[in-house]
Amino acid sequence: MGKTSKDKRDIYYRRAKEEGWRARSAFKLLQIDDEFNIFDGVHNAVDLCAAPGSWSQVLSKKLLNENEENPDRQRIVAVDLQAMAPVYGVKQIQGDITNINTAKEITSHFQNSKADLVVCDGAPDVTGTHCMDIYIQSQLLLAALNITTHILKPGGTFVAKIFRTRDVTLLYAQLRVFFPYIHCSKPWSSRNSSIEAFVVCKNYSPPEGYTPHMMNPLLIHKPCDFDELTGINRVIVPFVVCGDLGQPDSDTCYPLNFEGKEYTYHEPVQTPIDPPYQEALSLLADRDTDFRRPDVSVVVDNLNSMTI
Ligand code: SAM
């Protein structure tokens, strides 16, 4: 796909580059905050599955004073399997959110205190097999919830990506064990055509006697006792659209001069620094060198010089 055709297609992609966000996802967190005020009273925050870092940029902007010469480096921690370029005032951990050592490392950065807010925009690499992708995404959400029970203060907030599919109530039921207030939200910047949404869970209140443990499945105290889900499954989680009708729709193509400005192409703010597809790109580059297409201008010159 050409550069400008992608720019043309997606106004949030275009805006992200204009405003200096590393990914269009930044708008999702900003619109969730407009609706739920998730940053109110937040001192320590954790961004799980953070690369390339647009949510960390939002946390940095909302929680830190950019004019400080030495920002308090213990307040925001970002975790991802992949390396990420630095973000102002954000401590980075390259690690796996399913690993207990990652939880320990996070709390050690807060001097053994805990976080007021944990956000997770985690997504596994898609396999293309729909039900498998949904299953893996659900497992990632459960892993995020699990590590959150180690690092979130009672009363804290958890925001995470969720796929709204047939069995999503099982996830709501699981979240309800730990949070009395849960909303499922869909920011305007998240495409309507995508099953992605975000759970906003407030007032973290673990059940009495609950001890966080990375090895246990979380399900309702007694693992695999699905019968107990019957009652709690009747709880309806409110669905909220974040943003108002004045904001552009993420599924619509807008003209390049849509906002009354002359269009200028911007390079991406930050490309991934060590993406897993790097090897594939280098293999492709080698292949292109081996089987290079003929240069069209040379072919045309040759044709012109031919005498019939
Ligand atoms: N919120 C990010 C932003 O705004 O730039 C985008 C996150 S991206 C959609 C999903 C990320 O989840 C990927 O960078 C991936 O490496 C990460 N991820 C997936 N599984 C993970 C795991 N087990 N531990 C840590 N990160 C993981």
Which tokens belong to 16? 């992200």
What would the 3-class secondary structure string for 26-63 be?
HHHHHHHHHHHCCCCCCCCEEEECCCCCHHHHHHHHHH
pLDDT score recorded for residue 215: 66
**Ligand 1 pocket, 141 CB below 6 A?**
no
Cα(241)–Cα(235) distance, rounded to whole angstroms?
19
pLDDT at 73: 57
Ligand 1 pocket, residue 99 CB under 6 Å: no
Q: What is the rounded CA–CA span in Å between residue 158 and residue 86?
A: 24
State in Å: Cα 265 to ligand 1 middle.
27
Ligand 1 pocket test, pick from 22, 30, 81 with the greatest ligand atom count within 8 Å of Cβ, gives: 81
What is the b/e burial string over 147-174, where b = at least 16 CB atoms within 10 angstroms of the residue's CB?
A: bbbbbbbeebbbbbbbbeeeebbbbbbb
Amino acid letter, residue 258: F
CB 98 within 8 A of CB 86: no
Model pLDDT, residue 69: 62
| Position in ligand 1 atom list of the atom nearest CA 52 | 5
The yes-or-no answer on residue 161 being catalytic is yes
208-224 per-position pLDDT tens digit: 888 887 765 554 444 44
CA distance 201 to 182: 4
ipTM, interface predicted TM-score of the complex: 0.99
Measured in degrees and rounded to the nearest 5, phi and psi for residue 88 equal -50, 120
Q: For ligand 1, what atom is nearest to the CA of residue 97?
A: 24
Token look-up 């309702």 returns 220
Binding site membership of 55 for ligand 1 (Cβ less than 6 Å): yes
Indicate which residue of 161, 202, 222, 261 is catalytic: 161
pLDDT in tens, 124-160: 888 888 888 898 999 999 999 999 999 999 999 999 9
Q: Is 49 in the pocket of ligand 1 (CB under 6 A)?
A: yes
Output the pLDDT for position 281.
Answer: 81
For helices 54-63 and 26-36, angle between their N-to-C axes, nearest 10 degrees = 40
pLDDT beneath 50: ranges in the chain: 1-2, 219-226, 232
